[in-house]
Chain A
Amino acid sequence: MINIDASRLDHKTVNDLLRNANGDCTVTGCCGQRFIAAGLSDKRVAIEGVPGNALGAYLNGASITVNSNAQDAVGDTMNNGSIIVRGNVGDAAGYAMRGGKIMVKGNAGYRAGIHMKQYREKIPVMIIGGSAGSFLGEYQAGGIIIVLGLDGGKRIVGNFPCTGMHGGKMFLRSDCAGIKFPQQVTARRALDGDLNEIRGLLSEYCRIFGFDFEGVISSVFTVVTPDGNNPYKQMYVAN
């Protein structure tokens, strides 16, 4: 493991060191440096401290682990690989993500999974252990978003989830009573067949963070998909 001490280094220097390193890296003393591991395809990166915005942007196969919280736009447009965050993530996590996995132990801010997409075998996945803010899966065009609400008590998602959703799937570990979904999506109780699709993913998630898989899966899930007969028309303006 190669150690990169990021304290007092700017984001360009940190990323140059990461790219040029021959092997897996630990970045310590991280404090707000942006774009860490952007576009990286070939190594494991462990991060100590708080990485800056756009962590793992355009990630192309590398795997990143963060032991604290991460800021905004985690995995922006990532293509492949994995990002594991043991704390919370900020707004717009998985922005326009097109492949790979983002797994968050804690909560996500606003607009998680905004404009996620998929193409053939490339199906991005984002799993949030706690709750998600408003506009979860805004304009979602593909991929799978799962929110588990494991911290209990808190509402699993804020206002306006799935606004503009027109592809992909969302699973919320809740009966979603009192949560208003837009007209162009169908939200219904997930059946065994639906859950089979995410069993493998959840089992991997639980293994990583040490949760009890049976306890997680044996709960009510709501599955949300776009309704092809009633497509998305507008949210903000009529044009």
Chain B
Amino acid sequence: MSKGVHFDARGLCTKMNAFSAFYPERLKRFMKKEGQIRIPSGCAIAAVISRDGKKMTGESITEAMRPMHDRSNGLGGGFAAYGIYPQYRDFYAFHMFFDSRDTRKQCESFLAERFEIVHSEIIPTRKIPAITDEPIIWRYFVAPLKSAVSSMQVDEKEFVARAVMKINTGLKGAYIFSSGKNMGAFKAVGYPEDVGLFYRLDEYEGYSWTAHGRYPTNTPGWWGGAHPFTLLDYSVVHNGEISSYDANRRFIEMFGYKCTLQTDTEVITYILDYLVRVQGLTLGEAASVIAAPFWSTIESKTDLEDKLKHIYLRTVFPSLLVTGPFSIVLGFTGGLMALNDRLKLRSMVVGEKGDRVYVSSEEAAIRVMEPDAENIYAPAGGEPVIIKVKDGVRV
């Protein structure tokens, strides 16, 4: 991030705080949205997956965020859930925010030119006092039109990714915050435990869940800026504050990604999509790119093949090394990957019980989901923990 923007933001925020004390209503119109202002953040993350692919409701992961309440400040909470739309498993599920009915209509005609919309509806929510000022929230189950895909000469996923980028950068007031198959992100401004209630996550059943509570030190308070960040079926929840944002952004934008929100989590999502989907790296290799070991650590490796691989990855993708503190959970179809920065400047613990594996910023959250969780440990910095649903289980 550029220092100039940072200091401007702080100055502005101080003025806004004084202003807001007297003119709260006017402040809302005055406030900037995500992408117009850069704000550093700390956070809480949690995740659970069933290796047997067994379904669980979102109630438990919502409860798990309660003991970590103080890691968030009420300015963002969200969840990603996998396996929740089995009846539409072959269709991309677009979760969208709109600022007005007109924007929605515009967006629907944009979609209709490129996709068959098999079903669309308002995402059901619960009215609760803790969550206010919600945008218009819809979901669409879509299939790309074959003619449109072939005329663009790309594969289907690339087609969908480009359509998402196009709407998120080009259509003002519309934002796709989830675009994978048989999965969905749910996010809002509020504490995560309230966001879970708001989106009625107790009524969804998934084999894998991730959760996030946000603590931006100040915020424009827009729903799109909450985590998870997603693209296709990848979702990222992130605790930290990366210092390589601009270097990473400049590199990844050469490949068609548009970082619209100035948040580091967005850029991590695109980096992982690029490395895994586009470049075909394994998850472990992608982890070695973004959390590359120090050269001195690589130098001391005794496994020659492993050593050469790390030298290769650091040499080919130097601009995708993510520096500064982070702990992330990447969700994808059939699995999760948890990863800390190489210096491990954020906390993360992993535990298990039966077919379930748990990840969290704090052990307390795991104990809420499973009081008898076993083998609790803290993975080392840069050491990815990859958990997949067993082979043969349909997800």
Contacts and interface: CB of A to CB of B under 8 A. Distances in A.
Nearest to A10: B69
Given A31-B67, A50-B367, A52-B364, A109 B378 contact: yes
Given A50-B363, A52-B364, A53-B362, A32 B344 contact: no
Nearest to B378: A109
A52 B362 contact: yes
Given A11-B70, A31-B67, A53-B362, A90 B378 contact: yes
Contacts of A53: 362
A109 B380 CA distance: 8
A176 to B, nearest CB: 14
Nearest to B368: A31
B67 A110 contact: no
A31 B381 contact: no
B364 A110 contact: no
A159 interface: yes
A90 B347 contact: yes
Nearest to A90: B347
B347 A109 contact: yes
Given A31-B67, A32-B67, A110-B381, A69 B365 contact: no
B300 interface: yes
Nearest to B294: A159
A119 B378 CA distance: 33
Contacts of A88: 376-378
Interface string A46-85: 0001101100000000000000010110000000000000
A50 B361 CA distance: 13
B287 to A, nearest CB: 17
B349 A32 contact: no
A33 B70 CA distance: 9
Interface string B279-300: 0000000000000001011001
A15 interface: no
Nearest to A11: B70
B378 A133 contact: yes
Given A32-B362, A71-B363, A180-B300, A52 B376 contact: no
Main secondary structure on A side of the interface with B: loop
A135 B343 CA distance: 9
Contacts of B378: 88, 90-91, 109-110, 133
Interface string A1-43: 0000000001100000000000000000001111000000000
A88 B375 CA distance: 11
A222 interface: no
Interface string A86-114: 00101100000000000000000110000
A71 B344 contact: no
A53 to B, nearest CB: 7
Interface string B350-372: 00000000000011110110000
Contacts of A10: 69
Contacts of B381: 110, 134
A69 B349 CA distance: 11
Interface string B371-395: 0000011101100000000000000
A110 B344 contact: yes
B68 interface: yes
Contact of A69 (B347, B376, B380): B376
Contacts of A159: 294, 297
Interface string A148-166: 0000000000110000000
Interface in B163-217: none
B364 A32 contact: yes
Interface in B213-258: none
A65 B294 CA distance: 38
A71 B364 contact: yes
B65 to A, nearest CB: 11
A192 to B, nearest CB: 32
A76 to B, nearest CB: 14
A38 to B, nearest CB: 14
24 contacts: A31-B364, A32-B68, A32-B363, A32-B367, A49-B367, A50-B364, A50-B367, A52-B362, A53-B362, A69-B376, A72-B347, A88-B377, A88-B378, A90-B363, A90-B378, A91-B344, A91-B378, A109-B344, A109-B378, A110-B344, A134-B343, A134-B380, A135-B343, A159-B294
Interface of B: 67-70, 294, 296-297, 300, 343-344, 347, 349, 362-365, 367-368, 376-378, 380-381
Given A31-B367, A91-B344, 18 more contacts: A32-B68, A49-B367, A50-B364, A52-B67, A71-B347, A71-B362, A72-B347, A72-B362, A90-B363, A91-B347, A110-B381, A133-B344, A133-B378, A133-B380, A134-B380, A134-B381, A158-B380, A180-B300
Task: State the 4 A-B residue pairs at the shortest beta-carbon distance, nearest first.
Answer: A32-B364, A32-B67, A110-B344, A31-B364
Interface of A: 10-11, 31-34, 49-50, 52-53, 69, 71-72, 88, 90-91, 109-110, 133-135, 158-159, 180
